[in-house]
Amino acid sequence: MTQELSTTAPEHLPRQRGDWWRDAVIYQVYVRSFADSDGDGIGDLRGIRERLPHLAGLGVDAVWITPFYASPQADGGYDVADYRAVDPLFGKLSDADDLVREAHRLGLRVIVDIVPNHTSDQHPWFLAALAGGPERAYYHFRPGKGANGELPPNDWESVFGGPAWTRAAVPDGDGGTSQPEAGGEWYLHLFAPEQPDLNWEHPAVSEEFASVLRFWLDLGVDGFRIDVAHGMVKADGMPDIGLREQAKMIGAQVLPFFDQDGVHEIHRSWRRLLDGYEGERIGVAEAWAPTAERLALYVRPDEMHQAFNFQFLRCPWDPDRMREVIDASLAATASVGAPTTWVLSNHDVVRHPTRYGDGPAGLRRARAAALLMLALPGSAYIYQGEELGLPEVTDLPDEVRQDPSFFRAEGQDGFRDGCRVPIPWTRSGSSHGFGSAGSWLPQPDSWGELSVEAQTGVPGSTLELYRAALAVRREHPGLGAGDAVTWLDAPEGVLALARDGFLCTTNTTGTEVELPVPGTVLLSSGAPGFGDGTVRLPADSSTWWAI
């Protein structure tokens, strides 16, 4: 049975300001896995520069590059030993400079990742701290509990599993240390032991980060993605939580180590710093907050420009839940005058075609979700390979895994190597064009057919769908503008959201749904069938209409 779409006129949604980031489509490059220019099996900065035409051709506005700084790579570069140097694995400082310049020449902005919650345990500060220098105060060292200090100072758990504390050796006063067992203090690491948390109460820490931000802004970057932006401040007294499996509570409740009110002062100071630069340099908070309202605090007018909307990423393929999350996200960010950001995948989560159900249905839904996301007001993030419809790689052998959470977790799922497999550029050849000497994680053989080469020019391919969607979004700037959508009445399981002169219908059901033709098709993730004044929306598909 067909129900009619309501004819309520969509609201006019004026663009609030001309700021580029409000509706920008930003492409995430996971540097190790994008393109390898020197044949060591690991992606690098020159590889990214050589592939920038792909991003310009795709039609994105900006590229966010995950950390490429000097690092022992205990957590894929999120353990930084020198914030002003490029790791030799990824190139030289001049490669970063060339990359930024070439991106700008192609009309792409560049956002780099900054990791302020923790350093590497090989950072000179931490080495000096272990040796008993004044840098000890830049981290969180505490005596242990128990008769001999043999128990961690509190019950906090690492996000990667196990206790969030490691016992350090006792400094011997000569710049050396004794063995850890010999009664040393414990240091806090909310992630791996190789990532000691910084003490943001110490002024040297904030001064150093302001200087690091300036270093990269002076080099010409357009902004920062702020890693663990909700983590820098810990609750006074570091109280016990009293519950196990704390990683599962992240983003569901406020924990004494995350989303503390004090972090906002840091974001305010960084906003002042960003605003002091020419051009619109932005900050994007990777903040896990329990509600859309608490997340909105990070994007108040004097704080960051954007925050990732993980509630949308976490939402299952369920029309009611999706609508609820979209409305709640829009309302929360509108309340502070910020744009909402939409994200479906990144380097920390299972790729969304697999999350939505493996096989053909998962891919159909992923394509439909992409059109739904790109029809929403605000900014959208695309994770490399998403435009190819890549699934999660679920059968990596243990011996190739590198994610620290794989080695630390007990019975947790969600290991992150499966979404980090290098992306395929060509049908055949070594690592499908990723590089000349294989890839640090093996690609499935079937990925040749998902490569950029195999999908280019093929009507209906996922790559051409993304290209077309981004082209339509550019032609209709109203698409990313505004801060609300109008939902039209639609048959069960169909979402129909209207913007100014535009409609997106998403059939979330596993069967075809028939509707009166609502307008002229601009683009579809399926192949709608037309009858006498009616359209049959294919299962798990989105269609864009001019109305």
Show which residues are catalytic: 227, 286
CA distance 308 to 58: 22
Residue 442: both structure tokens together: 């093996």
Would you count residue 115 as binding ligand GLC (CB under 6 A)? yes
Which is nearer to ligand GLC, 343 or 468 (by Cβ)? Answer: 343
Q: How far is the CB of 118 from ligand GLC (least distance, A)?
A: 7
Q: How far is the CB of 420 from ligand GLC (least distance, A)?
A: 9
Half-sphere exposure of 28 (CA within 13 A, CB side): 24
Query: Among 75, 155, 197, 540, which residue interacts with ligand GLC (rule: CB under 6 A)?
Result: 75
Which is nearer to ligand GLC, 79 or 135 (by Cβ)? Answer: 79
Instruction: Count H helices and E strands in the chain, helices first.
Output: 13, 21
Q: Return the residues of window 270-289 that contact ligand GLC according to CB under 6 A.
A: 286
For residue 131, give every residue at least 6 positions away whose Cβ sits within 8 Å of its Cβ, in sequence order, or none: 171, 175, 176, 177
Would you count residue 228 as binding ligand GLC (CB under 6 A)? yes
Which is nearer to ligand GLC, 286 or 387 (by Cβ)? Answer: 286
Would you count residue 191 as binding ligand GLC (CB under 6 A)? yes
Q: What is the 3-state secondary structure (H, E, C) of 274-338?
A: HHCCCCCCEEEECCCCCCHHHHHHHHCCCCCCEECCHHHHHCCCCHHHHHHHHHHHHHHHHCCCC
- Kindly list the distances between the CA atom of residue 371 and the CA atoms of 77, 219, 483, 516, in Å, as whole numbers in the listed order: 32, 35, 18, 20
Q: How far is the CB of 348 from ligand GLC (least distance, A)?
A: 5
Q: Return the residues of window 339-378 that contact ligand GLC according to CB under 6 A.
A: 347-348
CB 346 within 8 A of CB 78: no
* DSSP three-state, residue 64: strand
Q: How far is the CB of 502 from ligand GLC (least distance, A)?
A: 33
Residue 290: both structure tokens together: 């329990």
Q: How far is the CB of 404 from ligand GLC (least distance, A)?
A: 7
Residue 373: both structure tokens together: 């996301």
Which is nearer to ligand GLC, 223 or 491 (by Cβ)? Answer: 223
- Kindly list the distances between the CA atom of residue 54 and the CA atoms of 66, 181, 370, in Å, as whole numbers in the listed order: 18, 53, 18
Would you count residue 78 as binding ligand GLC (CB under 6 A)? yes
Would you count residue 209 as binding ligand GLC (CB under 6 A)? no
Give φ, ψ of 215 to 5 degrees: -55, -50
Residue 266: both structure tokens together: 């840091």
Query: Among 227, 259, 303, 386, which residue interacts with ligand GLC (rule: CB under 6 A)?
Result: 227
**Dihedral sign from CA coordinates of 487, 488, 489, 490:** negative
Q: How far is the CB of 27 from ligand GLC (least distance, A)?
A: 16
Q: Number of residues interacting with ligand GLC: please give it, by CB under 6 A.
A: 9
Residue 64: both structure tokens together: 């966010």
Which is nearer to ligand GLC, 121 or 227 (by Cβ)? Answer: 227
What is the per-residue binding string for ligand GLC in 168-187, x denoting contact by CB under 6 A? --------------------
**N- to C-terminal Cα distance for the chain?**
23
Would you count residue 197 as binding ligand GLC (CB under 6 A)? no
> Residues, the chain, total?
547
Which is nearer to ligand GLC, 51 or 347 (by Cβ)? Answer: 347
User: By Cβ distance, which residue is nearest to ligand GLC?
Assistant: 78
Would you count residue 298 as binding ligand GLC (CB under 6 A)? no
Q: How far is the CB of 195 from ligand GLC (least distance, A)?
A: 6
Residue 77: both structure tokens together: 């570069």
* DSSP three-state, residue 462: helix
* DSSP three-state, residue 438: coil
Which is nearer to ligand GLC, 35 or 198 (by Cβ)? Answer: 198
Q: How far is the CB of 115 from ligand GLC (least distance, A)?
A: 6
Which is nearer to ligand GLC, 21 or 64 (by Cβ)? Answer: 64
What is the per-residue binding string for ligand GLC in 442-481, x denoting contact by CB under 6 A? ----------------------------------------
Helices (H), 132-276: 203-219, 263-275
Q: Return the residues of window 20-59 that contact ligand GLC according to CB under 6 A.
A: none
- Contact residues toward ligand GLC (CB under 6 A) are 75, 78, 115, 191, 227-228, 286, 347-348
